Chain A
Amino acid sequence: MTTQIPQAHKFYGLMPAVKFLRTSNLVKSFGNKEVLKGVDLALNEGGTTAIVGPSGSGKTTLLRLIAGFENPDSGTIELNNRTVAGDAWVPAHKREIGYVAQDGALFPHLSVAQNIAFGLDRSWNVAGRRANTRRVAELLEMVSLEASMGERRPHEISGGQQQRVALARALARKPKLMLLDEPFSALDAGLRVATRKAVADVLLAAEITTILVTHDQGEALSFADQVAVMRGGRLAQTGTPFSVYTRPADLDTAEFLGDAVMLDALLQGSLATCSLGGIPVRHATVQGRVRLMLRPEQIRITAEGPIKGTVVDTVFFGPETTVRIKLSPVPGLVGGGEIITIRHWNASMARPGMELNLRVIGEGVAFAAE
């Protein structure tokens, strides 16, 4: 996973703004199972937030509470300075929130055009009908679908096209907030990236505040300007994609958001020493024996250097190669002998048995040792 240069719209997160959506201490149980255990989430207007977490973490439930399909056991939801759940109740159809479900949830008995027009006010006069037809054509164009597609039935179009229709249908009412519930997960890999890009572009152009729920950390990091990591019914961490990836709040978050190299280290002040040498750590909350986390891409192979390791085995993936390296013990340092996995672009540079020189770029993150 490489960190991207933040795109222009990602700076929305830095702008001071009145929070557009705020959930306070949301609790929700199904039967005996407490699915949400007090969730506080705040969104800026126009921003894009990804809620990411493993399955069963409660992220879809949170989205359904915001949409108004369920009501919280306790806690409140405020949308645009108006309480919609908790002390008051605004039903789903009056919240002006767009919703795109995992499989699109297109109405099978209606054509694509009728699906898109479903949320528009039905009009009985010619002018009104023409206006609706124009709006449908406009929306089809907005999601890059041909106008002729309108005549088709949902089962006659591909999965990616179905998701675009679902988005167009949700956009028809010009919602203030758009909720996307894993809308790309049913698509195959190539289509997923293309559809995600298309959806992100449309939402950005329409300046609609968006929440995306996903279990795919890559999707979350690339789509949103705010990432909320959810685990066990709670938000474990909220921040920009860059900060949650490089400075995860805990071990589970670190491992969930991407591959991590974990080493035993001795942290003194802001310097951690381990079998990869001395590594700077900022904002350390613990001292002494710690678990140090690095991202694999921080570890580079160099021509010269004091840190050495022996290649155990490699797996070739084409553009990059996964290399497992057994670290050589360094006298006087903690650890040694650990096997770490890094990635490298040049397969021929690492063959099993070779000894390599290693160098670490950037900072590590320290967690309390278990």
Chain B
Amino acid sequence: MSETQLVPAKYREPKMAGGGTKPRPPLGVSTLVILATLIAVFSLVPLGYVIYMTVATGWDTVVELIVRPRVGELLLNTILLVLVTLPLCLVLGVGGAWLVERTNLHGHRWWALALAAPLAIPAFVNSYAWASTIPSLAGLGAGTLIATLSYFPLVYIPVAATLGRLDPAIEQSAASLGLGPWAVFFRVVLPQLRIAMAGGSLLVALHLLSEYGAFAMIRFDTFTTAIMIQFQSTFNGAAGNMLASVLVLLCMLLLLAEAKTRGNARYSRVGSGVQGLATRLRLGRHEIAAQLALLALFVLSLGVPLYSVVRWLVAGGAAIWDPTEFFPALAQTMGYGLTGALVTCVVAFPMAFLAVRHPNWFSKLLELSNYITSSMPGIVVGLAFVTVAIRLVPGIYQSAYVLLAAYVLLFLPRALVNLRAGLSQAPRELEEAARSLGRSPAVAFFRVTLRLSAPAAAGGVALVFLAIVNELTATLLLAPNGTRTLATAFWAKSSEIDYAGAAPYALLMILISLPMTYLLFQQSKKAAGQ
């Protein structure tokens, strides 16, 4: 399909009775459509790369490269990792959310935040903390431990937000129909959490597939670590590319599975009126067990990494704070983080605007492309950009542009979610009201729509910034020579077993992440209410 055909008839110039000038929509919808199409095409580069490489390799070679014991081993590792970690994350996430939101647990406000906080510790930092505390950690068990502790908040946050917003009247109706508390939970509450649980599980699974640093640190082989090893030894050989194809295939299967689980269900409140507050279940004598369980989870997920980082900081003393290394890394991280975050939000704007203001098949198509892109592991994006840059535009290979482009692509979905929420706070009617009050379309757009979506856009910038600060895999592949971000500096040090030297970088990444995690937590609470 050519790009011009992608422009739906609705956006073509309207037929006019006379020869009068036609009204101009505030931003030129057709311009937006073209921009959004270009961005969508750009965002499909990694998928296109994988497909192209698979086809170009030839069927026989593909079979030869994929059907071999090594791939079977990786597949088994990866699938086992997902199969063991996912249920654990679900139990911890849903259980924690229920305790915090639906019981009279003491200090539930504090626990609500404490359970989200582990998200502020990048998985590879968590892995470093555990590996440097217990050096014998390796293999599937260790991988599961670290992944579960790092990723259970991805289930906890949406489930807690949804639980807090569920209409208690439904549960009260169930109770009046003779169901006890447990039956109410399993037959009424849990089904309503399905969307949140499916969404959280998808995120956890995608992280498991795409994480490199955490698993490389403990010598646990997954597709991603194997691709990285292939890349380091043979650059972009066919073997690595085929592993990437299998990885992408797994990601697509996850997307499908999530879409199936979610179905067409809508669990919103029926009817109007003010929603009552949920009654909290009395824990009574179970309170001690609940507090101990949460404390154990807190110690494992937050206590161990923080203790480990502090221990290495103390052990390293003043020597590890070398300003000639530390400040350039911080400056580069800030530079990439801020530029990447701003560019990502600007790039996301046309897609978000079309999705909110002109929802039709075209914007749905854009969303689908975005959905697919959101599942692309950093390693695949990195590989694709390395290859495309070298083959098509060799001049920009090893430049900051390629890395920024990869960041934009990897984190576009985060910016989109925020921008869409922001733009739906600024309905078209408000812009029209401004126009009927004598403001030109451009002025109306700036003074109303842009102004109202600014807070959400700022939230999007912050979240993308956080993601870039903690990004390791694509940065390792694409960063220009001599680049040292906090993440890559941390990685270089800890790979040399200089655990003390890595500690300051770990600390800084955690400190930058904490406020952003809080922001994410707050946003999820609001989003669940829509």
Interface residues of A (CB under 8 A from B): 31, 67-76, 83, 85-89, 91-99, 101, 103, 105-109, 118-119, 166, 169-170, 172-173, 179
A89 and B23 in contact (CB under 8 A), knowing A72-B17, A74-B17, A76-B18? yes
C-alpha spacing A109/B10, complex, angstroms: 32
Given A87-B18, A95-B436, A97-B436, 12 more pairs with CB closer than 8 A: A73-B16, A76-B17, A83-B20, A86-B20, A88-B18, A89-B21, A91-B435, A96-B438, A98-B436, A99-B436, A101-B429, A108-B452
For B444, what are the chain A residues with a Cβ–Cβ distance below 8 Å? 93
CB–CB A86/B452 < 8 A: no
For A97, what are the chain B residues with a Cβ–Cβ distance below 8 Å? 436
For A85, what are the chain B residues with a Cβ–Cβ distance below 8 Å? 20
C-alpha spacing A107/B435, complex, angstroms: 13
Over the window 421-434 of chain B, the binary record of Cβ atoms lying under 8 Å from chain A Cβ atoms (1 yes, 0 no) is 00001010110111
A71 and B16 in contact (CB under 8 A), knowing A89-B23, A107-B448, A109-B451? yes
CB–CB A68/B435 < 8 A: yes
Checking A70, A86, A118 against B437 with a beta-carbon cut-off of 8 angstroms, the contacting residue is A118
Chain A CB within 10 Å — which of B24, B427, B438 has the most? B438
Checking B16, B437, B439, B452 against A169 with a beta-carbon cut-off of 8 angstroms, the contacting residue is B437
C-alpha spacing A133/B240, complex, angstroms: 70
A91 → chain B closest CB, angstroms: 6
CB–CB A91/B436 < 8 A: no
A71 and B14 in contact (CB under 8 A), knowing A89-B20, A91-B440, A93-B439? yes
CB–CB A107/B10 < 8 A: no
Checking B10, B20, B435, B452 against A88 with a beta-carbon cut-off of 8 angstroms, the contacting residue is B20
Q: Is B391 an interface residue (CB 8 A)?
A: no
Checking A83, A88, A105 against B433 with a beta-carbon cut-off of 8 angstroms, the contacting residue is A105
A87 and B432 in contact (CB under 8 A), knowing A93-B440, A170-B437? no
Checking B14, B20, B440 against A73 with a beta-carbon cut-off of 8 angstroms, the contacting residue is B14
A146 → chain B closest CB, angstroms: 23
Over the window 1-45 of chain B, the binary record of Cβ atoms lying under 8 Å from chain A Cβ atoms (1 yes, 0 no) is 000000000100011111111111000000000000000000000
CB–CB B436/A92 < 8 A: yes
Q: Is B95 an interface residue (CB 8 A)?
A: no
Checking A86, A91, A169 against B441 with a beta-carbon cut-off of 8 angstroms, the contacting residue is A91
C-alpha spacing A179/B14, complex, angstroms: 25
Interface residues of B (CB under 8 A from A): 10, 14-24, 425, 427, 429-430, 432-441, 444, 448, 451-452
C-alpha spacing A172/B437, complex, angstroms: 9
Q: Which residue of chain A lies nearest to B427 when distances are taken between CB atoms in the complex?
A: A105
For B452, what are the chain A residues with a Cβ–Cβ distance below 8 Å? 107-109
For B440, what are the chain A residues with a Cβ–Cβ distance below 8 Å? 91, 93
A93 and B17 in contact (CB under 8 A), knowing A105-B430, A107-B430, A109-B451? no
CB–CB A92/B435 < 8 A: yes
For B427, what are the chain A residues with a Cβ–Cβ distance below 8 Å? 105
CB–CB B23/A91 < 8 A: yes
For B20, what are the chain A residues with a Cβ–Cβ distance below 8 Å? 83, 85-89
B11 → chain A closest CB, angstroms: 12
A211 → chain B closest CB, angstroms: 13
B215 → chain A closest CB, angstroms: 46
CB–CB A75/B436 < 8 A: no
C-alpha spacing A103/B430, complex, angstroms: 10
For B24, what are the chain A residues with a Cβ–Cβ distance below 8 Å? 91
CB–CB B10/A68 < 8 A: no
A119 and B438 in contact (CB under 8 A), knowing A67-B432, A87-B17, A105-B429? yes
For A106, what are the chain B residues with a Cβ–Cβ distance below 8 Å? 433
Chain A CB within 10 Å — which of B21, B425, B429, B440 has the most? B429
For B16, what are the chain A residues with a Cβ–Cβ distance below 8 Å? 71, 73-74, 86
C-alpha spacing A72/B14, complex, angstroms: 9
Q: Which 8 A-B pairs have the closest CB atoms?
A: A119-B437, A87-B18, A99-B436, A74-B17, A92-B435, A105-B429, A105-B433, A89-B20
For B436, what are the chain A residues with a Cβ–Cβ distance below 8 Å? 67-68, 92-93, 95, 97-99, 170, 179
B361 → chain A closest CB, angstroms: 11
A348 → chain B closest CB, angstroms: 38
For A70, what are the chain B residues with a Cβ–Cβ distance below 8 Å? 23
C-alpha spacing A105/B426, complex, angstroms: 10
CB–CB A87/B433 < 8 A: no
For A166, what are the chain B residues with a Cβ–Cβ distance below 8 Å? 433
C-alpha spacing A68/B436, complex, angstroms: 8
CB–CB A107/B18 < 8 A: no
For A99, what are the chain B residues with a Cβ–Cβ distance below 8 Å? 432-433, 436
C-alpha spacing A88/B438, complex, angstroms: 19
For B438, what are the chain A residues with a Cβ–Cβ distance below 8 Å? 93-94, 96, 119, 173
Q: Which residue of chain B lies nearest to A87 when distances are taken between CB atoms in the complex?
A: B18
A342 → chain B closest CB, angstroms: 35
CB–CB A69/B21 < 8 A: no
For this complex, 20 residue pairs linking A to B, each with C-beta atoms less than 8 Å apart, are A69-B435, A72-B17, A85-B20, A86-B18, A86-B20, A89-B20, A89-B22, A92-B436, A93-B441, A101-B433, A103-B429, A105-B429, A107-B434, A107-B448, A108-B452, A109-B452, A119-B437, A119-B438, A172-B437, A173-B438
A155 → chain B closest CB, angstroms: 12
For B18, what are the chain A residues with a Cβ–Cβ distance below 8 Å? 76, 86-88
For B429, what are the chain A residues with a Cβ–Cβ distance below 8 Å? 101, 103, 105
Q: Which residue of chain B lies nearest to A91 when distances are taken between CB atoms in the complex?
A: B23
C-alpha spacing A179/B436, complex, angstroms: 10
C-alpha spacing A103/B427, complex, angstroms: 12
B449 → chain A closest CB, angstroms: 11
C-alpha spacing A106/B448, complex, angstroms: 11
For A98, what are the chain B residues with a Cβ–Cβ distance below 8 Å? 436
CB–CB A71/B22 < 8 A: yes
For A95, what are the chain B residues with a Cβ–Cβ distance below 8 Å? 436
For A172, what are the chain B residues with a Cβ–Cβ distance below 8 Å? 437
Chain A CB within 10 Å — which of B10, B23, B439 has the most? B23
C-alpha spacing A93/B24, complex, angstroms: 12
B526 → chain A closest CB, angstroms: 15
Q: Which residue of chain B lies nearest to A119 when distances are taken between CB atoms in the complex?
A: B437
C-alpha spacing A96/B23, complex, angstroms: 16
For A68, what are the chain B residues with a Cβ–Cβ distance below 8 Å? 23, 435-436
Q: Which residue of chain A lies nearest to B432 when distances are taken between CB atoms in the complex?
A: A69
For B441, what are the chain A residues with a Cβ–Cβ distance below 8 Å? 91, 93
A31 → chain B closest CB, angstroms: 6
C-alpha spacing A87/B21, complex, angstroms: 8
Q: Which residue of chain B lies nearest to A102 when distances are taken between CB atoms in the complex?
A: B429
C-alpha spacing A83/B24, complex, angstroms: 18
C-alpha spacing A70/B10, complex, angstroms: 13
Q: Which residue of chain B lies nearest to A173 when distances are taken between CB atoms in the complex?
A: B438
For B14, what are the chain A residues with a Cβ–Cβ distance below 8 Å? 71, 73
For A179, what are the chain B residues with a Cβ–Cβ distance below 8 Å? 436
C-alpha spacing A88/B24, complex, angstroms: 13
A237 → chain B closest CB, angstroms: 26
A35 → chain B closest CB, angstroms: 14
Checking A31, A69, A86, A105 against B17 with a beta-carbon cut-off of 8 angstroms, the contacting residue is A86
Q: Which residue of chain B lies nearest to A84 when distances are taken between CB atoms in the complex?
A: B20
C-alpha spacing A87/B22, complex, angstroms: 10
For A75, what are the chain B residues with a Cβ–Cβ distance below 8 Å? 17
